[in-house]
Chains A and B, each alone.
Chain A
Amino acid sequence: MRIFNWVLPMLVIACISLLTAGCWDYQELEDRAIIVGLGIDELPPVRSNGFETRMYQVVVQIVEAAAEDGGDQKGGGFGSSGKQSGYTNFVIETPSIADGIERVVTRSDRLPNMSHLQTIALGEKVARKGINELYDFFARFPQMRRHTEMLVFDGPISQLFATPSVSEPTPALHIAEMIDNVQRTIVMPVSNLGTVSKSVRSQSPFLLVKAAMNENKEILINQVAVFDTFKMIGTLSREQMMDISVLQDEIERGVLHFPCYQGKKTGLQIIAGNCKIKPELREGHPHITFDVELEGEMMEYQCLGASFEKPEQIKRLEQIVSDMLRIRLKRTAEKVRNKYGVDVLRLRTRLKNERDLYKELRQRPSEFFRRLTIDVKADVKIRNIGNNVQTPNRELRPK
């Protein structure tokens, strides 16, 4: 057995050095095509053998590490030509995302790597026709991250991934930062590849940020796309989405505006809040009461001649704002229910403890929403009125 005393250590050292020293699949960073953005839009379908195959335009944005580091810049723009920048875009026409990604190899000297993908942008056409064929790749591929941001873009996808930004050299990173920031406010609850996957699996509708380009060629996020069963079925305005966020109990910081008089506005910064639901069966109909409690601080009060020196005056404002919020939330909830008839209010997860209602919602969702009645209670507390206890006198207003 003494042979083991030296043979085994030698064998172990030899095997370990063989297996680990060079790292089996090691690749230099420059040899990797790190994909940070993926844009997909619909092309006219192709017919072959009697079958219609959907075709996609896939824009693959690859970050150029050297250029980002401030070193020599290469590539940039579209394909391998164009102006110098921190990225390269490849535009590929393909019936499959996996094929599209793979074809990057044939047009570049690097192997694609998806593990740092930041943004998936969907063209409005592909969103309306359905993303069922695309979803499986995103959910299956191990390199995909659940925090990858998703958006719908109203316009050519290639244009989105070529929009310059002051702060980020790579458009995909810029767009991801924008979406992330929007989702930190009350404007939009968190919605990324992870939440989309969750909604698809639980057969619930999901929401995605919808962006467009303004006349100054700036990316603008001012709408939200509503998806049900893989298809975009409509949009919500920014204000509607803020109301939906409150009703979904996804209350983050953000400013809610209310009219004071003659079209002037009161701005209330939300500090905290919650929205509880009280579900019940009322005369055989599902009935949900949303009980909203918000705490805020006054950011803006455009109406002149107001004073907040006494607690009663603040109480009165709280009452007015609460009433307006209640009416506004109820209107939005009913509008969304009537227009879409799907679970935009995220009731499916929140009704889990109400056995009968939950069962009906899962088994007959359209019937459930058709019969659903909604009530809203709102209680707004103003915790801080800022530096001014009075607004200027009305006589000072411009004639």
Chain B
Amino acid sequence: MKGFERPIEISPTQLVLLVFGTIVGVGFITLPRGVVEKAREDAWITIILAGFVSLVSLWLILRTARIFPKDTLVEYNVKIFGRFCGFLFNLLFAEYFLLFTVTGIRTMAEVVRAEMLPFTPLEAIIIAMLITIFYAAWDGLMPIVRINESGQPITFLLIILFFMIAYLEADWYEIRAPFAEGFLRVVQPIPDTTYSYLGFEILLLYYPFVLKKEKCFWNASTGIALSGAFYSFIVLGALLTLGPDVTMTQTYPVVTMAKMIEIVRQFVERAELLLIILWLPLAYTTHLVVFFSSAFTMNRMFPRISQRWWMGLSIPVIYVLTLIPDNLMEMERWTNYVGVIGMFILFVYPLLLLAGVFVRRKLGLLPASGIQEGEES
């Protein structure tokens, strides 16, 4: 089991970039459409508020994880809910990560085909993507963490610089004073917008490997805040360049926004291709992490089958599932289902875990809180 013997330790910087890399993926290409449709000119504020809501969920997740500092979710699910219910929850987790990969890969393939490779079969694009993530995940968590650490900063910087060019086309009359249409209009879309922050729930799995656990909340929050700032920047850009009415009618509003960029007439004409080149690493890192997380969960549930086998087995399943939806809109429905499961994991599930811990402690089936949390040190 070469590669697995190495200690898995996630440093604070790696944690920030891992959280950012997992959150920011495919979704931001379509994000402005949904949020602008509901919040119109105030959409960028909704994004920020959804970020704050995600911080609440992060606190809940870490509050639970701190009780079992040396266990992953797979182990403490069984400790809290018993073998049968714990197994079901673990299965839910594994399938959630698998479906997350499915929806992400298909959406990514759709964008690449629509904007970049119109004559290439979807199957070929998906196979190429699956091979890439399979290969990158082969040696376990640490290479994935390092891919995020080495790739994210430069990709992030380049994509920001890229969209700064789009901002040159901004029409600042398109935005207005915040909350002009009332507070409710900004707040109502927050639940749907919080879907875009899905990804940091991986901490339920990888918390035991985090160094400096006392700063885990701060570091993961930085990752979420970076994602929120990035999302806000993108949504504001779409509002300023396309206006709310166009933004909410575009299939891929961020790609349309990139089409506004023209660097010297007839010199750089199709800037959306540059966007896709910059976006693919961001999307890959998300798929990589969630794909690995699925195999990681399954391996922890059934340790006799190695992680690599689980990855190998899930590849054909993902391939088949990605091809089931007939079109992008049906795929979006799948994405919404995954989002609903994600919301359950972000908000309801940590509460269930905490309630379970409370009950078990009352029944004397779990050691008292002081002893458990003392294990951390």
Contacts and interface: CB of A to CB of B under 8 A. Distances in A.
A111 B260 CA distance: 26
A8 B41 CA distance: 50
Interface in B265-307: 265-266, 269-270, 306
A397 interface: no
B117 A24 contact: yes
Contact of B120 (A8, A16, A24): A24
A353 B117 contact: no
Contacts of A142: 114-115, 118
A115 B128 contact: no
B84 interface: no
A224 to B, nearest CB: 19
B135 A12 contact: yes
Given A147-B262, A194-B260, A116 B269 contact: yes
A388 to B, nearest CB: 37
Interface stretch (B93-101, B171-179, B321-329): B171-179
B256 interface: yes
Q: Which of A146, A202, A355 has the most CB of B within 10 A?
A: A146
B308 A4 contact: yes
A349 B262 contact: no
A12 B266 contact: no
Contacts of B128: 15-16, 19-20
Given A115-B269, A349-B174, A1 B245 contact: no
Nearest to A248: B173
Given A16-B131, A24-B119, A201-B249, A349 B173 contact: yes
Contacts of B1: 1
A202 B243 contact: yes
Q: Which of A116, A147, A180 has the most CB of B within 10 A?
A: A147
A202 B245 contact: yes
Main SS class of interface, A: helix
B220 interface: no
B184 interface: no
B8 interface: no
Given A19-B124, A352-B180, A146 B269 contact: no
Interface in B89-118: 114-115, 117-118
A25 B117 contact: yes
Interface string A352-366: 110100000000000
B41 A352 contact: yes
Contacts of A143: 118
B127 interface: yes
B138 interface: yes
A146 B266 CA distance: 13
A201 B120 contact: no
Contact of B180 (A194, A198, A201, A353): A353
Nearest to A355: B180
A388 B174 CA distance: 44
Interface in B237-257: 242-243, 245-246, 249, 256
A49 B225 CA distance: 61
B4 to A, nearest CB: 11
Contacts of A177: 265
Interface string A108-144: 0000000110100000000000000000000000110
Contacts of B306: 1
B374 interface: no
Contacts of A201: 243, 245-246, 249
B181 to A, nearest CB: 8
A12 to B, nearest CB: 5
A73 interface: no
A118 B265 CA distance: 10
B121 interface: yes
Contacts of B175: 352
B259 interface: yes
Contacts of B118: 25, 142-143
Nearest to A143: B118
B308 A198 contact: no
Contacts of B41: 352
B119 A25 contact: yes
A282 to B, nearest CB: 22
Contacts of B269: 115-116, 145, 147
Nearest to B241: A194
A12 B124 CA distance: 14
B176 A353 contact: yes
A25 B120 contact: yes
Contacts of A4: 308
A251 interface: no
A359 B328 CA distance: 35
A235 interface: no
Interface of A: 1, 4, 8, 12, 15-16, 19-20, 24-25, 115-116, 118, 142-143, 145-147, 173, 176-177, 180, 194, 197-198, 201-203, 349-350, 352-353, 355
Given A24-B119, A198-B243, A202-B243, 9 more contacts: A4-B308, A8-B135, A15-B127, A15-B128, A116-B269, A146-B259, A201-B245, A352-B41, A352-B173
4 tightest Cβ-Cβ pairs between the two chains A and B? A25-B119, A201-B245, A352-B176, A24-B120
16 contacts: A1-B306, A8-B135, A16-B128, A24-B117, A24-B120, A25-B119, A142-B115, A145-B259, A147-B259, A147-B262, A147-B269, A198-B242, A202-B243, A352-B173, A352-B175, A355-B180
